[in-house]
Amino acid sequence: MEKSFTHVGCYVRVSTENQLENYSIGEQTERLGAYCKAKGWHIYKFYPDPGFSGGNMNRPALQQMLQDVHAGLLDMIIVYKLDRLSRSQKDTLTLIEDEFLVNNVEFTSMSENFDTSAPLGRAMIGILSVFAQLEKDQITERFTMGRIGRCKAGYFHGGGNAPTGYNYVNGKLVVDDYKAEQVRLAYQMFLAGSNVNAICNTLHEKFGSWNNSTSVYNVLHNSLYIGKVKFKGKEFDGVHTPIISKEDFEQVQQLFHSSKRAKKKNGYTKTPFRANYLLSSLIYCKHCGARYSANHGYYKCYSRSKSEKKYIVDPNCKNKNYEISELDKLVIDEIHRIKYDKEYFDKVLGQRPTNQKANEHKAIQSSLNDIKIQIARLLDLYQVGSLPIEEISDRMDKLQTRKNYFEKELASSQSEIDAPLKMFMGALASMDTVLLKKGTLEEKRLLISTLIKSIWIDEDTINIKWRI
């Protein structure tokens, strides 16, 4: 004779994905109610957990049910399907053996048609819970594979938590010009000799946010800003637009590395790129590609001076040494010239290489022009009456939607192209105050690094690469 239960607890649960699989709360409640009625069992209470994962036991209705079990209010727990109770093998067995059975509460799964009141039912629960765990592990594996696939394709996998300088739009990172300017300033200040705490204080005073130095440190170490994405220690080329040049990023990493290497028991010794001079970390050798350092009154190629073995590229390099004061004056004169000689400024501006942003901008402009031509042709067709007004209206709506989209993209693209020029012009405007009068060494270095990306020495020829 089948045992009768007078205090049955019906547990029902759905997660977001299961809402689409006919496991809704209402569906489970209705079926469990009918099942208990057919068995002649009295339902004490329904315990619904809508939108909660079965991967853990942090669920409010489940915890309430366990409290009622401990209080002796239930003698049977029933679920529509075993995985509604839990997808974890360990949690399933813990609930049934350490919570239900020890408190004289039986357990039944309606879909699998077994219960713990019979030995076979207990054995089947152990078997099915193994498969529930297997399914959970497979879901986790598929999720991980999906994230790896997104990274390999170049997409950021951080969801809606976009890093500083970007917004997360339709699954992609899009440059936020206002915040990107802050990221660029952090890099330029660091290259100019500011420490992380000083950068944090400056950014906080100027922009708000930036409440701790850790955020600055993370920004300065994140290769995402040069167009990379990472997952589980592996790095891939991203599809998003970089904010920082690879050259600046690598220079910052070298500065961090050199400062760590310089730490000793009794304090710090001189680091290779220490910002004690106006042009430190900006000068490169055109002959061998090594960086120039400043020592004994001269800027010298590391390969020639051999003052730091790690930075030697060609030990036979004989490129010219420059007296520090001479090269500093030469560069300051060039900055003064680019500010006040419009012809020279226009020449430098016209020599800028076509970059990816400019190419993307041209492609968007071309698409927009094409749509405008289609709209014009459609209006011509309307005037000659060769198409029904309904068809013309439908086509026009679609074209107008696309036109609005490309106009927004064009404006955003133009803003990205203009951002470096705006920063350059802002720095140039403060040149006289900072560079020629009362600026500190750090302020002067920051201004110069905002204007100049690098300085290349080829004997008597000095080539300045500007940041425009």
What is the pLDDT averaged over residues 142-171?
70
Instruction: Give pLDDT, residue 132.
Output: 61
Most confident residue range from 79-83, 115-119, 208-212 = 79-83
How big is the chain, counted in residues?
468
Q: Which CATH number fits domain 8-150: 3.40.50.1390, 3.40.190.10, 3.40.50.720, 3.40.50.1100?
A: 3.40.50.1390
Instruction: Give pLDDT, residue 261.
Output: 45
Give dist(CA 193, CA 255) in Å, integer: 10
Question: Per the residue annotation, which of 4, 15, 259, 413 is the catalytic one?
Answer: 15
Instruction: Give pLDDT, residue 343.
Output: 87
Give dist(CA 4, CA 2) in Å, integer: 6
Long-range (24+ apart) CB contacts under 8 A made by 372-380 are 372/403, 374/399, 375/399, 375/400, 375/403
* 109 labelled catalytic: no
What is the pLDDT averaged over residues 415-444?
73
Q: What is the pTM of this model?
A: 0.45
**For residue range 329-365, what is the model confidence (pLDDT) as tens digits?**
999 899 888 888 888 888 877 766 555 566 676 777 8
- Confidence label for 272 from pLDDT (cuts 50, 70 and 90): very low
Query: For the chain, what percent of residues have pLDDT higher than 90?
Result: 18
Q: Is the pLDDT of residue 117 over 70?
A: no
Instruction: Give pLDDT, residue 142.
Output: 62
Instruction: Give pLDDT, residue 269.
Output: 42
Domain extents in the chain: 8-150, 159-274, 334-466
Q: Which CATH architecture has domain 159-274?
A: Alpha-Beta Complex (3.90)
